[in-house]
Amino acid sequence: MLMQRNAVWLPWLAIFASVLFLGLGTSWAKHSLFPAVGAQGTTAVRVGFSALILLLLCRPWRWPLSAADRRAALLYGAALGLMNLSFYMALRTLPFGVAVAIEFSGPLAVAVWASRRPLDFVWVLLAVAGLGLLLPLGHAVSSLDPVGVLWAVLAAVCWASYILFGKRIGHLPVAHSVSLGLAMAALVVLPVGVVHAGSALLSPSVLLVGLGVAAVSSALPISLEMVALKRLPPQAFGIMLSMEPAVAAVLALLLLDEQLSAVQWLAIGLIVLASMGSALTASMATLVKEKSRSRADALQADFSAK
C-alpha cells in the first residue's frame, strides 16, 4: 500500500522539484553570473553546459534523422536558444517572478489558440488582466523597465514557437529531441555570449558556477520532467507546470530580495490561475472525448455482435 501511494505521488513531486530546481538555478545565475559576464554570457554558459551534459548523457547521434526532422530540430533549437537569451536579457531589469509571468503568456496563448471552448475565453480574460497589471502602461507600474518587458514578451513569443516546432519532432524520443535542441540552442547563443563577455567566460569561477547552474536549471529539471511525463497525462503536467511564475516570485523574494507590490502578486496569481484553468479544461475535454469514443466503440461492438 505504501509503495502504491509513493507511486501516485512520485510524478507530482517530480514536477514540483523540476520547477523548484529551475527557479533555484535561475536565481543562482542572476546572483552569481550576471555581475561577471552579463545576461548574454550567462545564457551562453548555461545553455552551453546544458547542451554538453545532455549530449553526453543522451548521445543523440545514435539515432538517424530524416531531412524534415533535421529542419524541425534546427528551428526547435533556435527558438529554445532565443527564448533563453531573451529571458535572461529581461532579467537584467525585471524581477524574476514578473519576467516568468510575462513569458508564460506564450504557452498559454498556444493552448488557448488550439481550443474553441467558450470557457477558454475566461482564461484569456484572466491572463489579459494579469498582463495588464504587469505591463508598464500606467503610472502605477511605471517602475517596470519597458525594454525589459519587451525582452520578456519576445521570450514569450519564442516559447510559443518552441512548443509549435517541438510538436514537429514530438515523434522522436524525448532525450533525442531535447539534446539536439539544446545543441542547436548553444550554437545560437554562444557567439552572442563570446562577443559580449569575451575571455571572462573562461574564468574558472564562471565555468564552475556555470556548470552548476546548467545542472540545476537544465539537466535536473528535464530529467524530472521526463519521469513525470511517463506517469501523468499532458494536461495534469501542464497544471503543475503553471506554478512556475509563483514559485519564481517566492524564490526571488527569498534569495534575491526582489520585493513585489500587491498588484504584481495579484497579476502573477491571475496568470497562474489562467494557465491552470486552461490545462484543466483541456484535461476535461480530453476525458469527455475518450469516454465518448469508448461508448461509441462499445455500441459498435454490440451492434456487430447482434
Instruction: Write out pLDDT tens, residues 239-264.
Output: 666 777 788 888 888 888 888 778 88
**pLDDT for residue 235 is more than 60:** no
Work out the burial of residue 122: count CB atoms within 10 Å of its CB; fewer than 13 is exposed, 13-18 middle, 19 or more buried: middle
Instruction: Give the pLDDT mean for 252-279.
Output: 79
pLDDT at 239: 62
Confidence of residue 63 (pLDDT cuts 50, 70, 90): confident
Please determine, for residue 270, whether its predicted confidence score (pLDDT) is greater than 60: yes
Point out the least confidently predicted range of 170-174, 181-185, 206-210. Answer: 170-174
What share of the chain in percent tops pLDDT 70?
A: 76
Mean pLDDT for the stretch of residues 124-148: 69
186-210, pLDDT tens digit by residue?
Answer: 999 999 999 999 999 999 999 999 9
Q: Does 162 have pLDDT greater than 90?
A: no
pLDDT at 169: 80
